Chains A and B, each alone.
Chain A
Amino acid sequence: MVTEPESKFIRIDDQEIPFVHGQTIMDATLAAGVYIPHLCHFPGITPQGNCKLCTVEVDGKPLAACTSPAAAGQRIRNNTPELNESRKALTQMLFIEGNHICPSCEKTGNCPLQAMAYHLGMLHGHFPAQFPVREVDASHPTIMLDRDRCILCSLCVRASREVDGKNVFAIAGRGTHASLIVNTANGKLVDSDIEPSDLAARICPVGAILIKEHGYDAPIGKRIFDQHKINEIGLEKIYIAGAKSDDS
């Protein structure tokens, strides 16, 4: 059996931070208050490494921080112009692969994807816009599913299974054919057992899953990212409380 080395530290950019056995690089850095950009990671939910925004260089190799275990002595580069440029390109792809018309979106101002794009200085989508045609599911009385904005992060899939003890969502298909499906006989949300208080209904980092009758609750200036920056650690509680958390 390999014995664990004495010093349990990783070095990220110029900072040495501690970790405990079993933590990922993401867990350790978040605990130490160091921000690594991420969209598909949420504390307490099994990481899946979907968005790749958290890619850091570990001893020269690119790895997803949310799925890579921390190991003593790792030298990690995170906040570098090169990595942030790649993160911006990934974010641009997330925008052009869906239909993200922020001015008409209920999530605007409260949207982590939008806030990430601000953080990375994204001025335009760069790549040709795909304008995909995707199905909207408005069948449920209190929850709305607008797949135009889904970035396939699978947070709703994982939250439903791991926290809500249900199995409402799944991702079907691959590549550009991948889509979020609802695990009911006719594929409609209305026949599922999802409820607005479920984490799955609140965890979406974009305006793909929305609680009905709460659109545009907070006026401009009072929305989450009017008051916070995405690189603040521990914003998750505010996201899931939803747009009602206008700090007023």
Chain B
Amino acid sequence: MTHKPKLKLATTSLAGCFGCHMSFLDMDERIVELLEHIEFDRSPFTDIKQLDHCDIGLIEGGVCNAENVHVLRTYRANCRILVAVGACAINGGVPALRNHFSLKECLEEAYVKTPDMINPHIPDDPELPLLLDKVYPVHEVVKIDYFLPGCPPSADTFYRFLSELIEGKEPQIGKVELRYD
């Protein structure tokens, strides 16, 4: 068997709950098999902070603040194939429930009106990324090549998708078990 160079894979979580990353890990020992063909670049799995040029970028979570926009654009600029993973990346998901309310209402509810708050005030540290007016699906900010629906997508879905990419096939997402929850 000829050895092809390993595909570089990066992942990130924007406005999500890390459930998609957990589901990725649910591949269990199949990850070892995948590591014959892929290597991780920047990812919460590796804790590498800088993104190199990559073949595949997996984006979990929607876009809720200025830092999310920056990270997402960095991934788009550096990844050959960019994948929206999970309900939040695809349509905002549960974080988008805040879109019913103004940012002011949300912040006041969380930091001012909550009972038993000590020193109630809206955090204003300059290090905090600015929140966007709404939570947005990632494809409204950058071009996305593939979508893996699910909350989260199953480990099987990740495995099938990555296996097909490794084999150089066009991944057939519609054929895998399609679920939004």
Interface set of A (CB-CB < 8 Å, partner B): 95-96, 99-104, 108-109, 114, 117-118, 121, 123-125, 128-129, 131, 133, 148, 220
Contacts and interface: CB of A to CB of B under 8 A. Distances in A.
B47 to A, nearest CB: 28
Contact of A101 (B94, B136, B149): B94
**Most A-side CB within 10 Å, residue of B99, B140, B181:** B181
Contact of A102 (B136, B173, B181): B181
Given A124-B139, A129-B140, A101 B87 contact: yes
A124 B149 contact: yes
18 contacts: A101-B91, A101-B94, A101-B96, A101-B97, A102-B181, A103-B94, A104-B94, A109-B181, A118-B179, A121-B174, A123-B178, A124-B137, A124-B147, A125-B137, A129-B91, A129-B92, A131-B92, A131-B100
Interface in B80-119: 84, 87, 90-94, 96-97, 99-100
Nearest to A104: B94
B87 A103 contact: yes
Report, nearest first, the 6 A-B pairs whose CB atoms are least far apart. Answer: A103-B151, A121-B174, A102-B180, A123-B147, A131-B99, A124-B147
Contacts of B92: 101, 129, 131
A128 B140 contact: yes
B11 to A, nearest CB: 19
Contacts, number: 67
A101 B93 contact: yes
Interface in B156-181: 173-174, 178-181
A131 B87 CA distance: 15
A68 to B, nearest CB: 30
A125 B173 CA distance: 15
Nearest to A126: B139
B78 to A, nearest CB: 22
Nearest to B151: A103
Contacts of B99: 99, 131
Given A102-B87, A103-B94, A125-B91, 14 more contacts: A99-B99, A101-B91, A101-B96, A103-B87, A103-B180, A104-B97, A109-B181, A123-B173, A124-B90, A124-B137, A124-B149, A128-B140, A129-B96, A129-B140
Contacts of B96: 99, 101, 129, 131
Contacts of B149: 123-124
A174 B47 CA distance: 52
B144 to A, nearest CB: 8
B134 interface: yes
B13 to A, nearest CB: 16
A146 to B, nearest CB: 11
A124 B92 CA distance: 11
B100 A99 contact: yes
Contacts of A104: 94, 97
Contacts of A108: 180-181
Given A103-B151, A103-B181, A123 B94 contact: no
User: Chain A CB within 10 Å — which of B84, B137, B144, B173 has the most?
Assistant: B137
Contacts of A102: 87, 151, 180-181
Given A103-B94, A124-B149, A117 B137 contact: no
A133 B102 CA distance: 11
Given A101-B94, A103-B87, A124-B91, A118 B178 contact: yes
Contacts of B151: 102-103
Contacts of A148: 100
